[in-house]
């Protein structure tokens, strides 16, 4: 049975979350429906759906735990060029954890090589800005004169540059990417000494490997195993694996497992050729589940086709 008192002091929450960030360096937001949100981590995905495509994702992590992460993303991308061999897109991520709010806006560009049909190899670049705000007044601080919490961080701007590679056929896809190559320091490292209080938050390189394959079990049933591997310097490997079934080209049901972290249930519905909505629920397999009611995620995709020939059977990735 979970404890009745699920509310924790802000300071305890921030200490907990800061420990997670410093010890495991998992600084980028995590997504359960990563198979639908590929552009956020890999710019080479831009234009791969061969239509103008919009995506919106909202995630609430560790419900009922004060200061827990909430994340929102928006993506739009489309093929461009005479032969649709290039892609252009925009990615926006808004992430809040405790008193810190981090947002980034980047432009994604891809260039594709059409190999022997239906194979395609794409290369991508992303570039934009990252904005960090930290409001220490939102904390329940025991000592209001504590020098470590006197100076807020207001609109701290940093550049972001990343790259990726993405290969896909009609049934298989795989990609490798680094969304940000810059090891950005949000605070001055010299402030760690006793005379100049402060802290350091360094954005480390995150490597993402994604892959999936679609099996046609029969005319009305498809099965897609997929995986995402996230590698960060100084942190244990993060591995997600999922299994999804597409029924009658409309309903998606599946499950996902994040190594030593959580188990998830996924569901989706292809409302029309243009509109898809997906939902996910995470049950934490760690002790943090004692203080929360899991994590929730909702995803919406809207495609605009530019001709009847593009209105094909909805693709499963």
CATH of the domain at 144: 2.40.160.40
Is residue 3 in some structural domain? Answer: no
Q: Which residues make Cβ contacts (< 8 Å) with residue 304, sequence separation at least 6?
A: 51, 52, 53, 54, 274
pLDDT of 118 > 70? The answer is: yes
Q: Maximum Cα–Cα distance for the chain, whole Å?
A: 70
2 within a domain of the structure (yes/no): no
Task: Note the Cα 312 to chain centre separation in Å.
Answer: 27
* Number of domains comprising the chain: 1
Strand, helix or coil for residue 101 = strand
Q: Convert the pLDDT of each residue in 37-90 to its tens digit.
A: 999 999 999 999 989 999 999 999 999 888 889 999 999 999 998 888 999 999
Tell me which H or E stretch contains 24.
helix 10-24
Q: Would 317 be classed as within a structural domain?
A: no
67, part of any domain: yes
Residue 4 lies in a domain: no
pLDDT of residue 1: 43
Residue 184 pLDDT: 59
Task: Report if residue 95 sits inside a domain.
Answer: yes
pLDDT at 307: 57
Q: Is the confidence at residue 12, as pLDDT, over 70?
A: no
Higher pLDDT, 12 or 228: 228
H or E stretch covering 59: strand 52-60
Domain membership flag for residue 185? yes
Cβ neighbours around 80 below 10 Å, total: 16
Average pLDDT over residues 209-213: 97
Between 129 and 143, the more confident residue is 129
List pLDDT tens digits, range 125-141: 999 999 999 887 777 76
pTM for the full predicted model = 0.83
Residue 126 belongs to what domain range?
Answer: 10-310
Residue 204 confidence (pLDDT): 72
Query: Is 82 domain-assigned?
Result: yes
């Amino acid at each position: 049975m979970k404890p009745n008192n699920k509310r924790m002091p802000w300071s305890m929450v921030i200490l907990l979350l800061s420990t997670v960030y410093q010890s495991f360096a998992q600084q980028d937001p995590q997504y359960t429906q990563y198979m639908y949100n590929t552009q956020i981590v890999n710019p080479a995905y831009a234009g791969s759906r061969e239509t103008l495509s919009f995506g919106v994702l909202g995630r609430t992590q560790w419900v009922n735990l004060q200061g827990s992460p909430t994340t929102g993303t928006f993506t739009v991308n489309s093929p461009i060029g005479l032969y649709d061999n290039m892609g252009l897109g925009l990615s926006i991520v808004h992430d809040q954890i405790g008193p810190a709010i981090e947002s980034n806006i980047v432009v994604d560009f891809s260039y594709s090589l059409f190999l022997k049909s239906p194979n395609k190899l794409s290369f991508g670049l992303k570039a934009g800005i990252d904005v960090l705000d930290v409001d220490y007044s939102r904390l329940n601080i025991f000592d209001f004169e504590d020098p470590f919490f006197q100076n807020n961080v207001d609109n701290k701007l940093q550049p972001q540059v990343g790259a990726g590679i993405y290969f896909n056929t009609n049934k298989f896809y795989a990609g490798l990417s680094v969304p940000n190559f810059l090891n950005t320091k949000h605070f001055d490292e010299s402030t760690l000494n006793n005379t100049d209080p402060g802290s350091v938050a360094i954005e480390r390189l995150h490597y993402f490997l994604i892959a999936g394959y679609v099996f046609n079990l029969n005319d009305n049933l498809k099965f897609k195993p997929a995986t995402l591997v996230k590698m960060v310097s100084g942190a244990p490997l993060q591995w997600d694996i999922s299994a999804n079934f597409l029924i009658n080209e409309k309903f998606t049901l599946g499950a996902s497992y994040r190594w030593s972290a959580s188990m998830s249930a996924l569901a989706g519905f292809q409302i029309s050729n243009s509109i898809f909505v997906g939902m996910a629920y995470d049950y934490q397999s760690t002790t943090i589940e004692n203080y929360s009611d899991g994590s929730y995620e909702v995803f919406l995709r809207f495609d605009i086709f530019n001709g009847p020939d593009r209105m094909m059977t909805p693709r499963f990735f």
